[in-house]
A and B are shown apart, each in its own frame.
Chain A
Amino acid sequence: MITYLDSLFKGGNFLINIEQVNFSYQGEETHGSLNQINIHIKNGECILLCGKSGCGKTTITKLINGLIPHFNQGQLTGKTVVDGMIVADTPMYQLSEKVGSVFQNPKSQFFNIDSDSELAFGLENNGIAPDIIRQQVNKTVHDLHIENLLHRDIFTMSGGEKQTLAFASVYAMNPEIYVLDEPSANLDRASTLTLGKQLKHIKSQGKSIIVAEHRLYYLTDIIDRAIFIVDGKIIKEYSREEFLKLTDEERHQMGLRTIYQKNPPYTIKSDIDGELQVKNLSVKDKQHIIFDNVNFSVSSGEILGILGSNGTGKTTLMRCLAGLLKEHSGEVLHHGKKLSLKERNAICYMIMQDVNHQLFGESVWSECELSRDEKITDTEIENSLTFFDLLDFKDKHPMALSGGQKQRLAIVTGIVAGKKILIFDEPTSGLDYDHMCIVSQTLKDLAKQGHIILVVTHDMEFLEMTCNQVVQIGGNYF
Chain B
Amino acid sequence: MNETNSKGIRLDPRTELLLLIIANVVAFTYSAQWIEFAVIGILALLLICCGCIKSALKWIVFFICLVGIQYYVIPILPKILVIMFSVLTVYIRKLFPCLMIGALILKTTPVRFLIISLRKWHIPQKMIIPLSITLRYFPAIKEEQRHIRDAMKLRKIRGFSRKLECMVVPMLMSATGTADELSAAAITRGIENPIEKTCIVDLRFHIQDYICLIVGCIFIIAANITY
Contacts from A to B (Cβ < 8 Å): 65-67, 70-71, 91-93, 95-97, 99-101, 103, 105, 107-114, 116-117, 120-130, 133-134, 137, 151, 153, 155, 166, 169-170, 173, 319, 322-324, 345, 348-350, 352, 354, 356-360, 370-371, 399, 413-414, 417
Contacts and interface: CB of A to CB of B under 8 A. Distances in A.
B169 interface: yes
Contacts of B202: 130
Contact of A101 (B135, B136, B188): B188
A319 B146 CA distance: 11
B4 interface: yes
Main secondary structure on B side of the interface with A:
helix
Contact of B111 (A97, A110, A113): A113
B167 to A, nearest CB: 9
B187 A96 contact: yes
B154 A349 contact: yes
Interface string B169-202: 1100110011001111111111111111111101
A352 to B, nearest CB: 6
A151 B193 CA distance: 26
19 contacts: A65-B188, A70-B187, A93-B193, A96-B189, A96-B190, A101-B184, A108-B177, A109-B181, A114-B110, A116-B200, A117-B112, A124-B199, A126-B195, A356-B174, A357-B144, A360-B151, A360-B169, A370-B157, A417-B155
Nearest to A120: B200
A151 B2 contact: yes
Contact of A127 (B133, B183, B184, B195): B195
A66 B140 contact: no
B148 interface: yes
A12 B161 CA distance: 64
Contact of B136 (A66, A113, A371): A113
A101 B185 contact: yes
A103 B181 CA distance: 8
A113 B135 contact: yes
Interface in B5-34: none
Contact of B185 (A66, A103, A349): A103
Contacts of B196: 127
B154 A324 contact: yes
A399 B88 CA distance: 44
A117 B200 CA distance: 8
A206 B67 CA distance: 70
A413 B178 CA distance: 26
Nearest to B182: A108
B124 to A, nearest CB: 16
A173 B177 CA distance: 26
A350 B190 contact: no
Given A65-B188, A96-B187, A153-B1, A358 B181 contact: no
A438 to B, nearest CB: 23
B58 interface: no
Contacts of A105: 181
A324 B110 contact: no
B126 interface: no
Contacts of B54: none
Contacts of B150: 319, 322, 324, 350, 352, 357
B222 to A, nearest CB: 38
A125 B181 contact: no
A71 B181 CA distance: 11
Interface string B119-158: 0000000000000110110011001100110111111110
A134 B166 contact: no
Nearest to A128: B198
B199 A130 contact: yes
Contacts of A129: 198
Interface string B58-100: 0000000000000000000000000000000000000000000
A413 B155 contact: yes
A357 to B, nearest CB: 4
Contacts of A124: 197-200
Contacts of B181: 103, 105, 108-109
Contacts of A359: 170
B191 A370 contact: no
Contacts of B157: 360, 370-371
6 smallest beta-carbon distances between A and B, as pairs = A358-B151, A93-B193, A127-B195, A109-B185, A108-B181, A125-B190
Given A357-B148, A360-B166, A122 B155 contact: no
A371 B156 CA distance: 7
Given A122-B189, A130-B198, A111 B155 contact: no
Given A92-B187, A111-B136, A170-B189, A133 B198 contact: yes
